Amino acid sequence: MFVHLNGKLVPAQDASVSVFDHGFLYGDGIYETMRGYNRVIFMLDEHLKRLYRSASLIGLPIPWGKDNLRIALYETLLANNLNDAYLRLTVTRGRGPVGLDPGLCPEPTVVIIAHELKPYPESFYKKGIALMIARTRRNLREAIDPAIKSLNFLNNILAKIEAKKAGAYEAIMLNARGNLAEGTISNLFFFSDGILCTPSAECGILDGITRGLILQLAARLGFRVREGEFRRGALYSSDEVFVTNTTFEVMPVTRADKKEYAVGKKTRLLHKAYRKEVSAYVANIKAGMHLSGND
């Protein structure tokens, strides 16, 4: 296995980051998770755009341009001979003396990891996963801007611990006002009276790239969509529930706390539409590679 570390491909066993790196010491950094399908990185431009947004929001200069990052991501994918893959691009503040001042770090650390994506069990998509609503609340928007895809995940980890103790696969977090926000690694959707509902950005969520695509697909399919504020009761009284992220795609939910749901036709239809979008995207990128002679 090879890792792209600060501009070079190195064997995984030789890929190391300093104990004085501020990403390690303080969680001072950002990241993006991407999925590769048949050697094509899905929605790469959107992920890079969000990475640079996160960097801007924390005043972190990224030493490479987007084109260089694209090349590095594909180099890592190909060096590991991967078809269907999970990729993670991490940028930290870099190495520096102990202290919170970002100015202590002269150069960011850039790491790209790619490994084979192990598919989720087929039973997850046929029968759904279990959710629970965690006691741990989502960080205040005024404390940490949810638009920053930060390395600091302790808030989410505490909710995940709750989920494991409750025998649930994923935890849904409420915001400080008690409204539904998001999962530890996912965005939440549910159908209520035929309307596709999802917490809005104002609820303190990260605007997931998969979430955005699902909203577009839902509109194309003629679903009514409502982004807004919802209490937990709205989830319990809904007809179908699913969660989304880059690796989940569209993951059906069979239970939230004590409320059970069937895996519904609308959820399956959206997942089918999502997979169709992936196939079209991959075919388009591959066609472009062929025309440019990079096939």
Distance CA 281, CA 73 (A): 17
What is each CA distance from 28 to 53, 99, 111, 148, in whole angstroms?
A: 15, 11, 14, 11
**CB atoms closer than 10 angstroms to residue 145:** 15
- Torsion, Cα 85 91 96 101, to 10 degrees, reads -140
Residues 210 and 246 sit within 8 Å (Cβ to Cβ):
yes
Residues 179 and 138 sit within 8 Å (Cβ to Cβ):
no
Residues 151 and 224 sit within 8 Å (Cβ to Cβ):
no
CA–centroid distance for 83 within its chain: 20
- The verdict on whether 149 is a catalytic residue reads yes
Q: Give me the amino acid identity at 174.
A: L
Distance CA 149, CA 143 (A): 14
Q: Within 13 Å and on the Cβ side, how many CA atoms surround 225?
A: 19
Contacting residues for 257 by C-beta, under 8 A, at least 6 apart: 131, 132, 133, 236
Distance CA 30, CA 8 (A): 20
Strand positions, DSSP E, 56-106: 85-92
Q: Annotated catalytic residue: which of 118, 149, 164, 165? A: 149
Catalytic residues: 149
